[in-house]
Amino acid sequence: MLSELDRRYDAAIAAVTGPGGKVEVRPDELGRMIPAQLPGTLPAFFDFFCMVNAATEAVVAGDERLTFADLNARATTLARALAGAGIAKGDRVAIAMRNCPAWIVSYMAVVKAGAVATLINGWWEAGELRHALELTEPKLVIADAGRAKRIAATGLSLDIVTLPIEEPIDAAIAPLLGEEGELPAVTPEDDATILFTSGSTGLAKGAVSTHRAVTTGVYTYASQLAVLLGIKEAMGDPPKNPPRTLIIVPLFHVTGEVPCMLNSFVINRGMVIMPKWDAGEALRLIEKEKITYFVGVPTMSLELMEHPDRDKYDLSTMTDIASGGAPRPVAHVPRLEEAFKGAQPAQGYGLTETNAVGCGNFWSNYHERPASAGRAHRPFVEFAILADDGSHLPTGGHGEIGIRSAANIRGYWRDEAATAAAFTADGYFRTGDIGYLDEDGYLFIVDRKKDIIIRGGENISAAEVEAAIYAHPAISEAAVFGIPCPVLGERPAAVVYSEKGDIDAEALTAFLASQIARFKLPERIWVVDAPLPKLGTGKIDKVDLRAHYRDVAAAA
C-alpha cells in the first residue's frame, strides 16, 4: 500500500509538472514527457539559469570561489575562442581532467560552441584511452597535465591543449583563449555529449545524448527536489541552510554530470569540489562549507560512518545522504540513520544510458523498503519488466528492467548493432538488470543478467547472497561470484573484508545458514585484510576478484 509520503509526493509532482506548474510537461512525438517551457538546449540552459542564480556562489575549489555569473561569462568567452579556433557544430571535443573549475567551464564552453562534449574517464590508461579516442575522433582534447601525458602515450596524433588546472580559472583556461568566432544555433535534437559505458570487460561504448536528453534528465531531478522541498515546508520543516553539495564523484560519470553538476544550476546549489576522495577531508569540508547534500557510491558513506574523527565535526547541516552507482546494502540504512541523525538516506537508480534518471527511494519510504530502488521518476520515466522477447511482464514478474524516457541516449556512437540491441520496439532501454515491480510500483533489483550463479540447475542471485553477508555486523565489503565445479557447473564463493578484523569463514558460514537456503551458501569464503579492489566508479571490481579467486580455487 502506498505510504502517506507517496500520496503527498504524487499530488505535489502532479501540480509541479501539470498545467501552469514550474516544470510543466507535454508529450513529445513518441509520447515521452518533456518540459514544455524550460530551455531544451544546454547553451540556453546555462544562459538562463546563470542569469536567474547569478549572484550565488556556484563553485568552491580550495581558495577559489566563483558565482554562476562568473562561470557563464568565462564559458561564453571560451566558447567563442573555440569557434574562432575552428571548432564547429558536431565536432567532438574531449575533456580529460580531474574535477576542477576548469572542467566545468570547459564543458559549458564546448556545448555552447555546438560541439559534442566527450567525457574521458580520468583513470584510464593508454589502452583504454586509445580505444575511446579512436572511436570518437575528437578535433580537440582539453586535458590536465597528468591526462595529457597519458593521452600522448597512446601514440595518436591529436590536438591536445594542456591546462594548468591548479591555477585560478582565468589562468587555467588561458591556453585555450584567442581569436573569437560566432557561436552556432543549437537545437534540442543535436548531439550534446558522449559518455562511456562503465565496465571491466570488453571495450567501452560511447553513449550519445542529445541536448533534449541531457536537459530532460536534469529537469527530472530538479522537479523531484522541488516537490520534496515543498513537502518539507508544508510539514513546518523548511531547510535551515542554502543548498550545497560536495562534488566527490567524477564529473565524467553521469552521476557527477547530471544530478550533481547540472542540477545545481537549476536549484541554485553551490558545489564544493574535492579533487580526490578522502573521508577525513570530506568531513572537514562538510563542516566548513555547510554541506547539505552528499552523494557517492555506498562505500563512501560507509567510510564517513566509520571514520575515527567523525564525532569531531559538526555535520548537522547535512539533510540528505544519497547513493548511486551501486546498490546500498540494506544493513547500511539503519547505521546511516544512527550515524547522521539529521540526515536522511536515499537511494537512486539510473544508468549512463538514461542520463542517470530511473527511480528513487527516499526518507521514510527508504526506511520502510530499504531493499527497493524506489518508484519511477514520474512523469518523465516509465518502467517495464521485460521478457526475453521484449514483451511486458505483469506485476511481480522477474525480468529485465526496461526504462523509457526522453532522457534516454539516442544510441551508441558508431555502433548500430549495439544501439538496435539496446532498445525494444516500443522504445524501452534494456538495462541488463533483472528485477520486478511490486503492486505500488516500487522497483526491486535482483541481479545483473550476467551475474547469476547456476549451481546444478538452480539460479542463485549473487546480489542476494551479498545482501545476506552484509547483514553481519562485522562485514565492511563483500563480493559473491561463481567458481567452476565439475559436478554442479558452478559453486558460489565469496571474498569479504572486515575493518574490525573479527570474522572468519566458519563463523560467517554459520551466520549465513540462518539467512539463506543451503544451496546458496558460499562453498568457499576468503577473508582478506585489505579493502576489495575498486573500479574507477568506486564499485567493487568483481570481475577482477572472480578471475583471481577462480585461479586460486583451481590451484587448490
Q: The domain spanning residue 530 has which CATH number?
A: 3.30.300.30
Over the stretch 115-162, which tens digit does the pLDDT of each residue have? 999 999 888 888 789 999 999 999 999 999 999 999 999 999 999 999
Where are the extended beta strands (E) located within 86-243?
92-96, 116-119, 140-143, 160-162, 191-196, 206-210
Query: Would you say how long the chain is, in residues?
Result: 556
Phi, psi (deg, nearest 5) at residue 460: -115, 125
Over the stretch 63-111, which tens digit does the pLDDT of each residue have? 999 999 999 999 999 999 999 999 999 999 999 999 999 999 999 999 9
What separation in angstroms does the CA of 153 have from each of 129, 150, 284, 475? 9, 5, 37, 41
Residue 488 lies in a domain: yes
Indicate if the pLDDT at residue 425 is higher than 80. yes
Residue 45 lies in a domain: no
Task: Match 522541498 to its residue by C-alpha cell.
Answer: 229
Residue 14 lies in a domain: no
Residue 28 lies in a domain: no
Average pLDDT over residues 206-217: 98
Beta bridge partners of 34: 26
Yes or no: say if 498 and 475 are a contact pair by the CB < 8 Å rule.
Answer: yes
Among residues 210, 242, 277, the one where a domain terminates is 210
Percent of the chain residues past pLDDT 90, beyond the cut: 69
Query: Cα-Cα-Cα-Cα dihedral of 125, 131, 136, 142, to 10°?
Result: 20
| Coil, strand or helix at 4 | helix
Per-residue model confidence (pLDDT) at position 315: 92
CB-count exposure of residue 551 (10 Å: 0-12, 13-18, 19+): exposed
Indicate if the pLDDT at residue 199 is higher than 90. no
Per-residue model confidence (pLDDT) at position 553: 87
Residue 516 lies in a domain: yes
Among residues 210, 241, 260, the one where a domain terminates is 210
Three-point CA angle 242, 3, 333, nearest 5°: 60
Element housing 172 (H / E)? helix 169-173
Adjacency order of strands within the sheet including 524-528: 477-485, 489-497, 524-528
Q: What is the CATH number of the domain that holds 79?
A: 3.40.50.980
Average pLDDT over residues 520-535: 91
Give the C-alpha separation, 500 to 503, whole Å.
8
What separation in angstroms does the CA of 83 have from each of 23, 32, 47? 33, 34, 18
Q: How confident is the model at residue 404 (pLDDT cuts 50, 70, 90)?
A: very high
Q: What's the whole-model pTM score? A: 0.85
Query: What average pLDDT does the structure give for the chain?
Result: 91
Average pLDDT over residues 195-220: 85
Three-point CA angle 87, 210, 17, nearest 5°: 135
Q: How confident is the model at residue 458 (pLDDT cuts 50, 70, 90)?
A: low
Q: How confident is the model at residue 457 (pLDDT cuts 50, 70, 90)?
A: low
Per-residue model confidence (pLDDT) at position 446: 85
| Listed residue (354, 361, 339) closest to 409, CA to CA | 354
Q: What is the 3-state secondary structure (H, E, C) of 408-441?
A: CCCEECCCHHHHHHHECCCCCEEEEEEEEECCCC
Yes or no: say if 285 and 291 are a contact pair by the CB < 8 Å rule.
Answer: yes
Indicate if the pLDDT at residue 328 is higher than 80. no
Task: Match 560536495 to its residue by C-alpha cell.
Answer: 246
**Residue bearing the bigger pLDDT, 450 or 334:** 334
Indicate if the pLDDT at residue 339 is higher than 60. yes
The three grid cell numbers given for residue 491, joined into one nine-digit string: 559453486
CB under 8 A, 24+ apart: contacts of 433-437: 433/400, 433/401, 434/398, 434/399, 434/400, 434/401, 435/373, 435/385, 435/398, 435/399, 435/401, 436/385, 436/393, 436/395, 436/396, 436/397, 436/398, 436/399, 437/383, 437/385, 437/395, 437/396
Of 42-56, 205-219, 381-395, 452-466, least confident by mean pLDDT is 452-466
Per-residue model confidence (pLDDT) at position 202: 52
Give the C-alpha separation, 33 to 27, whole Å.
4
Phi, psi (deg, nearest 5) at residue 378: -80, 150
Per-residue model confidence (pLDDT) at position 198: 56
Task: Match 544508468 to its residue by C-alpha cell.
Answer: 351
Per-residue model confidence (pLDDT) at position 201: 38
Total tally of structural domains belonging to the chain: 2
Residue 95 identity (one-letter amino acid): I
Give the C-alpha separation, 443 to 463, whole Å.
15
The three grid cell numbers given for residue 304, joined into one nine-digit string: 564517513
Where are the extended beta strands (E) located within 307-407?
320-323, 344-350, 358-362, 375-376, 382-386, 399-404
Q: CA gyration radius for the chain?
A: 23
Beta bridge partners of 95: 119, 142
| Listed residue (436, 420, 511, 407) closest to 469, CA to CA | 511
Among residues 175, 210, 245, the one where a domain terminates is 210
Indicate if the pLDDT at residue 298 is higher than 80. no
Domain around 526: 451-555
259: DSSP letter: I
Per-residue model confidence (pLDDT) at position 197: 84
Residue 36 lies in a domain: no
Indicate if the pLDDT at residue 495 is higher than 90. yes
Percent of the chain residues past pLDDT 70, beyond the cut: 97
Indicate if the pLDDT at residue 9 is higher than 90. yes
Residue 231 lies in a domain: no
Residue 143 lies in a domain: yes
Residue 124 C-alpha from the chain's centroid: 18
Over the stretch 264-291, which tens digit does the pLDDT of each residue have? 999 999 999 998 889 999 999 999 999 9
